[in-house]
Amino acid sequence: MNNIYDIVIIGGGPGGIGVSVEAKILGVEKILLIEKSDNHSGTIRKFYKDQKRVDKDWQGQKVELEGNIEFFDGTKETTIDYFENLLDNHQIEAKFNCEVEKVVKNDEIFIINTSCGTFEAKNVIIAVGRMGKPNKPSYDIPVSVRGLTNYNLDKCSNGEDIMVVGGGDSAVEYACELSNSNGVTLNYRGDKLTRPNPTNIAMFENFLNENKIAAKLGINIESLENEKGKIKVNFDDGSSQIFDRIIYAIGGTTPVDFLKKCSVELDVSGEPIFDKNYETKTKGMFIAGDIAFRSGGSIAIALNHGYRIVNYINK
C-alpha cells in the first residue's frame, strides 16, 4: 500500500494545481501531479501572449474563491510565478514531460499508465482542459494554406495582414495585441461582441474607433482558397478578402478519446457525466476545471473545483 497515492491528478493547469495544493493544505499527504508538457500550466504558457493581462473574472464571470488559494488579476508571468511558488511551497510531487495514456480501475485501486511509468492511486482527478485540441472551423482548410492558419500567436510575424476569428475574450486580446505590429481584422459570426468582459469590450471599441483594427461582425466565413500563397477568405455576404494569416480563437474540444481510455462515461453529446461533487460514474474518479464545461470555465472556477473535490474526498 506504501506506493499507492491517495490522489493522482492528471494535468498541471489551474484545475490540477488547485486540487494538489488544496489536498496538501487539507492534510492529504500522498499526492502526485502529472503533466504532459515540460512544466506546469501548459495551456497558459502556450496560448497566452507574453504580458497578457490575466483577469480573475474571465469572460465576465464573477467568482468567489472558496478554498485556501488566493487568486488575483495579474499577467501571464505573475500567474505562472504564483502557481510555481504554490507548487514549491507546498512541496507538491510532480512529474513533467509525462503523458497519461490510460487509467483503469482494478478492485478499489486505479492503475495509471503514462509515458513515464505506471502509478497506482485511490482517487484520480482528470484536469486536462480542452486546449489539447483547439476547435477548428466546420469548413475545409485547404492543405496549401494550413500552415497560415493557427490557434495561438506562435507563428505570427510583424507586418502580416491577419484575420482573428472568434467572439470571446481571447479573440479580442489576440486582435488588439497583434494590431500593434500588424493589420488586423476581427471576424465574428454575431452582430455584436457580448462574451468578452467589460475591460476587453472597451479595449476593442477603442481600437476600432482609432482604426487600429477592422471588424467583420455578423458575417460568416464560407470557404478559404489559396491565392498566390496567401489566404483568400470568402464571406457569406458575397465579399472576399485576402490575408497572410488566420488565427482561430474559438475555444477547445472535449478530449473524447482520452476520456474513453480513462473509462469515463460520456453523455450522448460526448461530454463527461459527473455529479455535484464532480465524481464520474466511476467512484473515486473526478473531473476538474475546463473539462467540466462545454465552453466557459476560468482559472478561479478551476481552483474552486479543486477545493470542493478534495473536501468531498476527505469526508
Ligand X SMILES: Cc1cc2nc3c(=O)[nH]c(=O)nc-3n(C[C@H](O)[C@H](O)[C@H](O)COP(=O)(O)OP(=O)(O)OC[C@H]3O[C@@H](n4cnc5c(N)ncnc54)[C@H](O)[C@@H]3O)c2cc1C
CA 132 to CA 43: how far, in whole Å? 8
Task: Tell me 52's DSSP state.
Answer: -
Residue among 20, 287, 297, 307 that touches ligand X (CB under 6 A): 297
The residues in 252-281 that bind ligand X, with binding defined as CB under 6 A, are 258
> From CA 94, how far away is CA 108, in angstroms rounded?
23
How far, CA to CA in Å, does 239 sit from each of 53, 160, 216, 233?
35, 21, 11, 8
- Half-sphere exposure in the Cβ direction for 230 (13 Å, CA): 12
Residue with cell 497578457: 52
Closest distance to ligand X from the beta carbon of 237 (Å)? 28
Does 103 help bind ligand X (rule: CB under 6 A)?
no
Q: Which of these, 206, 244, 204, lies nearest to 228 by C-alpha position?
A: 244
**34 touches ligand X (CB under 6 A):** yes
Indicate whether 289 belongs to the interface with ligand X (CB under 6 A).
Answer: yes
* Count helices and strands in the chain by DSSP H and E runs: 7, 17
170 lies in the binding site for ligand X (CB under 6 A): yes
Please identify which residue in the block is written with the cell numbers 470555465.
297
Binding-site member from 22, 112, 129, 165 for ligand X (CB under 6 A): 129
Residue 99 binds to ligand X (criterion: CB under 6 A): yes
Q: Is 13 in the site for ligand X (CB under 6 A)?
A: yes
Single residue of 8, 112, 131, 153 touching ligand X by CB under 6 A: 131
Nearer to ligand X, 262 or 313 (CB): 262
What span, in angstroms and rounded, lies between the C-alpha atoms of 180 and 212?
8
Q: How far is the CB of 10 from ligand X (least distance, A)?
A: 5
User: What is the Cα–Cα distance from 71 to 62, expressed in whole angstroms?
Assistant: 13
Q: Which is nearer to ligand X, 113 or 220 (CB)?
A: 113
CB 161 → ligand X: shortest distance, Å? 21
Binding window for ligand X (CB under 6 A); candidates: 19-27, 30-38, 178-186, 262-270? 30-38
User: Max CA-CA distance within the chain?
Assistant: 67
Classify strands 285-287 and 100-106 as parallel, antiparallel or unpaired. unpaired
Contacting residue, 127, 165, 172, 221, with ligand X by CB under 6 A? 127
**Min. distance of Cβ 242 from ligand X in angstroms?**
26
Q: How far is the CB of 117 from ligand X (least distance, A)?
A: 13
Residues that bind ligand X (CB under 6 A): 10-16, 34-37, 42-44, 47-48, 54-55, 58, 99-100, 127-129, 131-132, 170, 258, 289-290, 297-300, 302
